[in-house]
Structures are given as C-alpha cells and as structure tokens.
C-alpha cells in the first residue's frame, strides 16, 4: 500500500508539473493560421568571392587533346601531380 501511494504521488506530481496553462499555449501556436509573416526580413548569408592573395599556393593543370601542348604548359606532366619547384 505504501509503494502504491508513493507511485501515485510521483505520477500526480509529474502530470501536474508538465501541464502548460492555456494562456501559454497560444504563444506556442501559429496565430496566422499557417500564413507566412512577411514583416520579418529574410536573412540570406552571401559569401564574398574569394580573391587570390599573396602566398596562396595555386595548382593549374592544363588538359588538351594535343599532348605536345600539354607537355609545354604542364612541365611536370600528368604522372607526378605532387611535383613542385
């Protein structure tokens, strides 16, 4: 009987503490009935274009059908992509 009373009180306290008053439930609901509020501005984060700066490391690889042109413009060739000066 004692355990039953403890469980009952525990459950009753849990139910009573988890209830939200009716006044507060209005704040949790959409007042406009699903309409989008246009008074708030849409914030869109725009990234600035990246500009090449001093000490940037660039890797430019040219591809072409003519292998002679590729050898001239890519002095390290396609075999060694990790080559550097």
Q: What is the DSSP string of 17-57?
A: HT---HHHHHHHS-TTSS---TTSPPP---PPPP---TT--
Q: How many separate domains does the chain show?
A: 1
pLDDT at 73: 83
pLDDT at 24: 63
| Residue 11 lies in domain | 1-28
Does residue 33 lie within any of the structural domains? no
Does residue 4 lie within any of the structural domains? yes
When pLDDT is cut at 50, 70 and 90, the band that residue 56 belongs to is: very high
Q: Residue 55: is its pLDDT beyond 70?
A: yes
Does residue 84 lie within any of the structural domains? no
Does residue 67 lie within any of the structural domains? no
Instruction: Name the most confidently modeled range: 19-23, 70-74, 81-85.
Output: 70-74
pTM for the model: 0.28
Does residue 39 lie within any of the structural domains? no
Does residue 15 lie within any of the structural domains? yes
């Amino acid at each position: 009987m004692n355990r039953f009373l403890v469980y009952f009180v525990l459950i009753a306290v849990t139910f009573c503490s988890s209830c939200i008053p009716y006044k507060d439930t209005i704040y949790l609901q959409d007042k406009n009935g699903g309409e989008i509020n246009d008074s708030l501005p849409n914030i869109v984060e725009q990234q600035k274009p990246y500009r090449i700066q001093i000490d940037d490391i660039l890797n430019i690889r040219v591809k072409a059908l003519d292998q002679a042109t590729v050898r001239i413009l890519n002095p390290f060739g396609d075999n060694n992509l990790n080559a550097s000066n």
